[in-house]
A and B are shown apart, each in its own frame.
Chain A
Amino acid sequence: MASVDIRQVRKAFGTFEVIHGIDVDIGDEEFVVLVGPSGCGKSTLLRMIAGLEPISGGEIAIGGRVVNMVPPKERDIAMVFQNYALYPHMTVFDNMAFSLKLRHAERSVIEQRVRQAADILDLTKYLDRYPRQLSGGQRQRVAMGRAIVRDPQVFLFDEPLSNLDAKLRVQMRTEIKALHQRLRTTSIYVTHDQIEAMTMADKIVVMHDGHVEQVGTPLELYDRPVNLFVAGFIGSPAMNFFEGRLRRDGDRAWVEAKGDLVMPAPPGVRGNDGQSVVYGIRPGHLRLASDAEQGLPAEVEVVEPTGDNTLVFCRLGDAVACAATTERFPLRPGERLRLVPQVENGHVFDAATGVRL
């Protein structure tokens, strides 16, 4: 097990730079998720850590050793690929044993390590099967077994769950997390799915256009996104945004949004009176007002009951906002209601730079 240090790492394909100097410190035994929309450079960064892509600039160190020029097999890493990359002509056993065979490990050692990994992953019954004879979830587990058998310093996962159906994905997500809690191997996991990132990570690295937008624990990112991009990317359903101007009067601060909406700014907000801002509030922090309360006048457009939650999409000023409630109000499209934002859970971002105020 080892730490991974990424220092000022750049990647260019020809003259086209896709990663612009990234710094990330990954501690020993940490489970770090690189998350971002497609094309943000997260997979490329992972492949550079694996040694499958040359590094154009900066340094990557695994366990304190700079590995820029070290070939993949000497980096002591194991990787799980999106399409599993199982050798179709080898049985499950041979797939898992392949790396040990190449290292000329003793037969008994191979046997013992493979059986142990198969036991952990519940694959013992399938050791004689070929990958084609397995279901998607089983193949996924074989791919992880191949990684476990090597007992590497770092596990790398490249969107390992995106080929699975939704239900299996949730199940495998839990299995991978449980596996990490058991083995404690440093893991770097790439995904575009922010729910996967939130549920699995010790630490999330949000990437966008080859830059790191924010690094933090899942709840840090959720509660205090440093900019508009992170605020919009993390959380489902996504945060509601309202353009407007910040107003100050002594200690009091509020946001006047388009459509004559007045949003209470959270305590401690920075910024000047009259500054153009974007006010953000998560659907769960937008409450339906009771009869006696004041609130923002809204008109129901769509109601989506999910069972434990009901999402109410309303026209609020110029924008459509989503409110999530656990109560089951009998709401109909066109109905008028009032919404109350929770003051302390509001977010204010500078409109020009997107930075949190």
Chain B
Amino acid sequence: MGAFMFVDTKTQRRASARAAPGPRRFRLGESRGAMGLLFMLPAAAVLLLFLAYPLGLGVWLGMTDTRVGRAGQYIGIENYEMLWTDSVFWTSVFNTLLYTVVASIAKFALGLWLALLLNRHLPFKAFLRAIVLLPWIVPTALSAIAFWWIYDSQFSIISWSLTRLGLIEHNINFLGDPAWARASVIIANVWRGIPFVAITLLAGLQTIPPSLYEAATIDGATPWQRFRYVTFPMLTPIIAVVMTFSVLFTFTDFQLIYVLTRGGPLNATHLMATLSFQRAIPGGNLGEGAAIAVTMIPFLLSAILFSYFGLQRRRWQHGGND
């Protein structure tokens, strides 16, 4: 008996000595939480490094008087106080809101219309759908240059056509006149943003079973009523997603404006993003530029809140699966 016990403990000791470095690793592998944390780390590191750090740095810079080539000092909310009385800043806020609201509504209306058209049985359907995506896949800077030509004060194809048609006598100064410039950049943005809305909504449209339309037809619905009572309500979840993204993209737009007008004429097309860049980099006032960028955060947060509520599953989406 004693011998047995002796052998027993000896084997145990040997076994535990062999496994000595093992148990910790073993436990880590067994714990789902620890493994999860481990697998999450790379993504978390990327997010922290490239999102959280720049954001924190921006907020910090906004509270300093940093200039290019000179480390700044903490000045509290002085930058914001200055912006509060800065009419150019307020113009840019107004421009940004106007640009976002008008362009988003136009993109939604035209995108939905295009999606409904593409959802029909058309010849060359796949080809047409691919074509529609073109404005979206061309780099913004390139399409902006094309628009620059279209809007040129002397060589504009629009002015040329309208003159030939006898509708106008003088070329339209698209990018030189404040009102025209605002309209022009909005149209260019809409042109570029429609494909995203249209293709996403098209994907949503295709999830609606055809038998629902047939049932509605037999129930006596006109085409408009089928849209109003079947298509639109069933599309609302995807509309919430696509419009949130569309609003965020439009609100933070920079490239198009910078290539077309650089914010001019008379700051009529300056958006918060372009003003921030102009004050910070060419102007050298990094602190002030950062402060302008930070003022965009409340607007963007409210857009995200909108999406948070918009994206929540509606009551009819709850429950079992089909």
Contacts and interface: CB of A to CB of B under 8 A. Distances in A.
Interface of A: 50-52, 71-73, 77-79, 81-83, 85-90, 98-99, 102-103, 130-133, 135, 146, 150
A163 B114 CA distance: 35
A73 B234 contact: no
Given A85-B212, A89-B316, 7 more contacts: A73-B221, A79-B214, A85-B209, A132-B316, A132-B319, A133-B319, A133-B320
B219 A98 contact: yes
A50 B217 CA distance: 10
Given A52-B217, A73-B217, A103-B220, A133 B318 contact: yes
Contacts of B225: 102
B211 interface: yes
Contacts of B319: 130, 132-133
Contacts of A102: 219-221, 225
Interface residues of B, number: 25
Contact of B316 (A73, A77, A88): A88
B213 to A, nearest CB: 9
Contacts of B218: 50-52, 72-73, 77-79, 99
B116 interface: no
B317 A132 contact: yes
A150 B314 CA distance: 29
Contacts of A79: 214-215, 218
Nearest to B211: A85
Contacts of A87: 212, 215-216, 229-230
Contacts of A81: 211, 214-215
Interface centre among B212, B215, B316 (most CB of A within 10 A): B215
B298 interface: no
B219 A83 contact: no
Interface of B: 209, 211-212, 214-221, 225, 229-230, 233-234, 314-322
Contacts of A85: 209, 211-212, 214-215
A87 B234 CA distance: 9
18 contacts: A52-B214, A52-B218, A72-B218, A73-B218, A73-B221, A77-B218, A79-B218, A85-B209, A85-B211, A87-B230, A88-B234, A88-B316, A89-B314, A89-B316, A98-B219, A102-B219, A132-B319, A135-B320
Contacts of B214: 50, 52, 79, 81, 85
Interface centre among B209, B233, B316 (most CB of A within 10 A): B316
A130 B318 CA distance: 9
Q: Majority SS of interface residues in chain B?
A: helix
A164 to B, nearest CB: 13
A132 B229 contact: no
Contacts of A88: 234, 316-317
A99 B316 contact: no
A210 B219 CA distance: 28
A130 B316 contact: yes
A81 B320 CA distance: 20
A199 B225 CA distance: 39
A89 B220 contact: no
A77 B316 CA distance: 28
Ranked nearest first, the 4 interchain pairs of A and B with the lowest CB-CB distance are A132-B319, A73-B220, A99-B219, A85-B215
Contacts of B314: 89
B244 to A, nearest CB: 20
A332 to B, nearest CB: 46
A81 B217 CA distance: 13
Contacts of B212: 85, 87
B208 to A, nearest CB: 10
Nearest to B225: A102
Interface centre among B218, B314, B318 (most CB of A within 10 A): B218
Interface centre among B217, B225, B233 (most CB of A within 10 A): B217
Nearest to A98: B219
A45 B317 CA distance: 34
A30 to B, nearest CB: 21
Contacts of B315: 130
Contact of A83 (B209, B233, B321): B209
A85 B210 CA distance: 9
Contacts of A71: 217
B223 to A, nearest CB: 11
B322 A89 contact: no
Interface centre among B212, B220, B225, B315 (most CB of A within 10 A): B220
Contacts of A135: 320
